[in-house]
Structure 1
Amino acid sequence: MVYRYESEEDAFEDPEPGSDLDVLGAGPPPPAGPSPSRFPAPSLPRPNQLVLPSTQPPPPARVSAPIAAPRSQVYTSAQPVETPARRSGGRLWQVLVGGAAVLVLLALCGLGAAALLADRDPAPQPTPTYQPDAAASAPAQRQDLDSRDTDQAPLTAKELFPGKELKLADGQAAYQVLKTQSSGSCAVAATDEVANLLTLLGCNQAVRATLRSPGGDHLITTGLFNLTDKVSAERARDRIRQILDDRRGRFRGLTAGTDTDALTSAPARVGWQVRGHYLAYALVVRADGTAVRSGDTKIREILFDMIEVHLSRGVLQRRAETGTAEQPTPAPTQGSGSQNGSGDDELPGD
């Protein structure tokens, strides 16, 4: 059965015999196909369109005369049938909803993965900035002064007293260097049991000088004894006080002309200190040969200048900084006392 569009404007009755419409039927039978119409036939329905079969029997055929093609009819069901457009719209909506759900799920998965990577990755390191060569800028390693095994360079008079004047600080008056001496025998700088003690403990060098104080009122002999190691230097330090107190030995002053004889004849004030394997000492007398008072602050200043400032912080510090030791020597230890410069080596009381 062929279907076409039908409306009220296209409705007509069967032609009466003898009418104009009937003449059309007098000729040969019409060709197979849809009957002519005043309206163009619409496109045929899609094959998947659901069409219900007709429940009415076809009209009876007329035998007496040829008849026009029967009116075509469109059959519909009593309830709306799902059309392709409706099904397409529903499927499109489902696709959109499903796609949105998939996108949301992927976004959540991406956020979770990013959080895991952020927790797993280490914190970003700052970009290193240019640094100068550490080897070129680092100071030289320190010389170990605790033993002659690690501090083998011998002392020299020029190292201890490089010029004719010794200026310890800016704005401070300089000491005048009158004479220097370097000897491989420590006995030249001490007498009796002090000399024997130094020799027994391995002293192989005595480097000293005689100086005049800035005001000219005092004469000083000061220098270093080079002992085997720190232990031997500390033993010498501890024993010297007892020897001086018992008047069984003394430090010698170094004369530098007739006007310096007080260094060997006048009562003296002495001080000593250990740093590494060195024993630093100083002997101070009044230039006029008079007795030294125990509370003389000027002499104390001179002892501090010679032993602590010049020899320890100056000479030995420079020696420590030019070597290869890894650690500095501990803080130096010191002592002081007084001695008599006369031939019998008697000691005046402090």
Structure 2
Amino acid sequence: MVYRYESDEDAFEGHPGPGSDLSVAWNRPPARTGPAPSRFPTPSLPRTSRIALPAAAPPPASAFAPPPTAPRPAPPAGGYATTQPLHLPRSRRARDTGRRGARLWQVVFGGAAVLALFALCGLGGAALLANRATDPQVAPSPPAAAAPSPSATERQDIDSRDTDSAPLTVKEVFPGRQVTVGDGADPYEVLKTQSSGSCAVAASGEVADLLATLGCNQVVRASLRSPDGDHLLTAGLFNLTDKATAQRVRDRLRQLLDDREGRFRGLPAGDDTEALTEAPARVGWQVRGHYLAYCLVVRADGEPVKAADPAVREILFDLIETHLTKGVLERRATGGSAGQPTTTPSGSDEDDSDSEND
């Protein structure tokens, strides 16, 4: 039979009585000096985890009882086997129990501290989110979009009819009865104006064919008198498809005029303006965007115009460069109104040519 101790309290409460069926009986040893004796009869007795009964019948109980003063007899050989101590001394048990208790309290307090820290972090995060939701000053605002440049929003591409589809008007090109090209300068008198969808009315011969072939769909022109009254002129704008086409017309014109294969027509404006259609003329032209600006100058008395006449060259510059290019077309490129004078001249790298228009 095997008996297993479940705890130290189950070991012995007293001496086992005679006739006990335990495989080992215990006897109290004499008093000893040193550590306090255990409450059990025999100190430091190894615990038996497994007690094997001997094969032979147990001897009488009196045979096991040694004399009171005799040392504790060794257990009979083969009577039982031990695998671990029966118990630890009380002082060691108390020390181990204290350590386990200290570790337990450390775990408890450490866990409580971690939980408290998480709780504080959660409360702080919730309060921060609540403040962001309710305080408009804390809420992030989207970055302000960069203000577009005035030049980028107002400037218009006039290099093509696709991006500059609005047709020219007489009011835009010649808004009044006079054309003033500079502060304090004497004005040019506007005698007559014309706007036509057929560019052939302003040219003849190969020049008219060239304009029609390359897509010219409008001409706006006017006849004017010079401030000194000595010269008559016709100036205007041809509306072509794009800048490249306008440059092709510009480059071809000189050869056609020099070879007398065509000419620009003057716009007669009544009496005393017959020279515009009959007298030899000087002609100048220039490209800006998809427009060709031109001017034809004759002497009012019908006499031929001298090539080196400074008055004629000044008239060409005033009408082509200052009024039509830097005035009318620059206002169109910047989105200005037709009647608004321009104060900011715009440079041009286009060709400025003149030729006789016989």
TM-score range, shorter chain: 0.5 to 0.7
Q: Distance in 1 between the 2:151 and 2:321 partners?
A: 27
SS at match of 1:188: helix
Residue type at the aligned position of 2:352: Q
CA RMSD in angstroms, aligned pairs only: 2.0
Report the counterpart of residue 291 of structure 2 in structure 1: 278
Residue type at the aligned position of 2:185: Q
* 1:135 Cα deviation from its structure 2 partner: 5.0
Q: Percent identity?
A: 65
* 1:335 Cα deviation from its structure 2 partner: 1.6
Equivalent residue for 2:352, pick from 312, 334, 345: 334
**Structure-2 change in CA distance of 1:137 and 1:208 (3 Å):** closer
Length, aligned pairs only: 205
Report the counterpart of residue 142 of structure 1 in structure 2: 155
Residue type at the aligned position of 1:309: T
Q: Distance in 2 between the 1:335 and 1:165 partners?
A: 25
SS at match of 1:279: strand
Q: Distance in 2 between the 1:191 and 1:229 partners?
A: 22
SS at match of 2:326: helix
Report the counterpart of residue 224 of structure 1 in structure 2: 237
Report the counterpart of residue 271 of structure 2 in structure 1: 258
1:293-312 mapped onto 2 (5 Å cutoff): 293-312=306-325
* 1:138 Cα deviation from its structure 2 partner: 6.0
Q: Distance in 1 between the 2:348 and 2:243 partners?
A: 10
SS at match of 1:243: helix
Q: For 1:57-82, what per-residue CA distance to the aligned partner results, in whole angstroms no more than 9, with x for missing partners? A: xxxxxxxxxxxxxxxxxxxxxxxxxx
* 1:339 Cα deviation from its structure 2 partner: 1.4
Equivalent residue for 1:165, pick from 178, 202, 210: 178
Q: Distance in 2 between the 1:138 and 1:197 partners?
A: 35
Task: Answer whether contact 1:146 1:329 (CA < 8 A) is retained.
Answer: no
Structure 2 residue 211 is matched with structure 1 residue 198: yes
Report the counterpart of residue 211 of structure 1 in structure 2: 224
Equivalent residue for 1:175, pick from 180, 184, 188: 188
SS at match of 1:152: coil
Q: Distance in 1 between the 2:348 and 2:298 partners?
A: 30
Q: Distance in 2 between the 1:330 and 1:300 partners?
A: 18
Equivalent residue for 1:243, pick from 242, 256, 274: 256
Residue type at the aligned position of 1:213: S
Q: Distance in 1 between the 2:243 and 2:322 partners?
A: 20
Which structure exhibits the higher relative contact order, with contacts defined as CA atoms closer than 8 Å and separated by 6 or more residues? 1
Q: Distance in 2 between the 1:139 and 1:150 partners?
A: 15
Residue type at the aligned position of 1:335: S
Task: Answer whether contact 1:281 1:307 (CA < 8 A) is retained.
Answer: yes
Q: Distance in 2 between the 1:159 and 1:220 partners?
A: 19
SS at match of 2:185: coil
Residue type at the aligned position of 2:310: T
1:183-194 mapped onto 2 (5 Å cutoff): 183-194=196-207
* 1:330 Cα deviation from its structure 2 partner: 5.9
Task: Answer whether contact 1:275 1:329 (CA < 8 A) is retained.
Answer: no
Q: Distance in 2 between the 1:177 and 1:293 partners?
A: 24
TM-score, normalised with respect to structure 2: 0.55
SS at match of 1:319: helix
Task: Answer whether contact 1:145 1:329 (CA < 8 A) is retained.
Answer: no
Unmatched runs of 5 consecutive residues or more in structure 1: 1-132, 341-350
**Structure-2 change in CA distance of 1:329 and 1:183 (3 Å):** farther
